[in-house]
Amino acid sequence: QVTLRESGPALVKPTQTLTLTCTFSGFSLNTSGMCVSWIRQPPGKALEWLAHIDWDDDKYYSTSLKTRLTISKDTSKNQVVLTMTNMDPVDTATYYCARSLGSDDGFDIWGQGTMVTVSS
Amino acid sequence: SYELTQPPSVSVSPGQTARITCSGDALPKQYAYWYQQKPGQAPVLVIYKDTERPSGIPERFSGSSSGTTVTLTISGVQAEDEADYYCQSADSSGTYRVFGGGTKLTVL
């Protein structure tokens, strides 16, 4: 059974750096074609793709956020980590990680999401 | 930046057919994917690669593609289908993923 679970702080202050961890099971990021993405959703708003990392360590970022994002993987721990710098209240959202079976494929399995609030 | 355009809302009565469109310039080149999201839940993939249905998704869900528009069709809509629906694809290079703005399906 494939599962993903997001973890990280529920509350961060403006200007701080957010670090989120996606811990997954049931598949390996060493498998050819496998990818994990981060996606967020502000309250009441649409989904927004943030970044993804491929099995071969290729990384892609949203053009509007790329200066603030870093994605990395630890295949030994089955984890993908996203850092977002200079957090702002507009970054308040539920953050999801999700798996895809190809770098341009859809997201077949999602984590349950973690809500992050940015407030002083 | 690349955008996918969806209608904000669609309303249908139970048993009718709901059609939700998604438009984007790169859709002739890139596959589209559709997700259903109910309140407080993570999205669920209901259509992949324009027309394919994952296992476990009811047959009343189908997808089609024509030029720069893809369509999610729900035949014989049931009350449980009331949800937000998002299309997703990639830009023409296939590098960057993008979501549509979402469509709220209301079952009257």
Q: Is A106's CB within 8 Å of B101's CB?
A: no
Amino acid A53: pLDDT: 96
Q: How many angstroms away from the CA of A46 is the closest CA of chain B?
A: 5
Q: Which residue has the tokens 């943030």?
A: A50
pLDDT above 90 coverage of chain B, percent? 95
pLDDT above 70 coverage of chain B, percent? 100
The average pLDDT across A93-109 equals 92
Q: How many angstroms away from the CA of B74 is the closest CA of chain A?
A: 20
When pLDDT is cut at 50, 70 and 90, the band that residue B1 belongs to is confident
Amino acid A103: pLDDT: 74
At residue A93, φ and ψ (nearest 5 deg) are -175, 170
Q: Above 90 in pLDDT, residue A105? A: no
pLDDT averaged over every residue in chain A? 96
Amino acid B47: pLDDT: 97
With contacts defined as CB-CB under 8 Å, which chain A residues touch B92? Answer: none
Amino acid B89: pLDDT: 96
Q: Is B35's CB within 8 Å of A52's CB?
A: no
At residue B66, φ and ψ (nearest 5 deg) are -150, 110
Q: Count residue pairs from A and B with Cβ separation < 8 A.
A: 58
When pLDDT is cut at 50, 70 and 90, the band that residue B95 belongs to is confident
In this complex, the residue of A46, A64, A108 whose CB is nearest that of residue B101 is: A46
Q: Does B63 touch chain A (CB under 8 A)?
A: no
Helix (H, G, I), strand (E, B) or coil at A88: coil
Residue A24's nearest CA partner among A9, A10, A35 is: A35
Are the C-beta atoms of residues B107 and B14 closer than 8 Å to each other? Answer: yes
Q: Is A111's CB within 8 Å of B99's CB?
A: no
pLDDT tens digits for range A29-40? 999 999 999 999
Q: Is B1's CB within 8 Å of A37's CB?
A: no
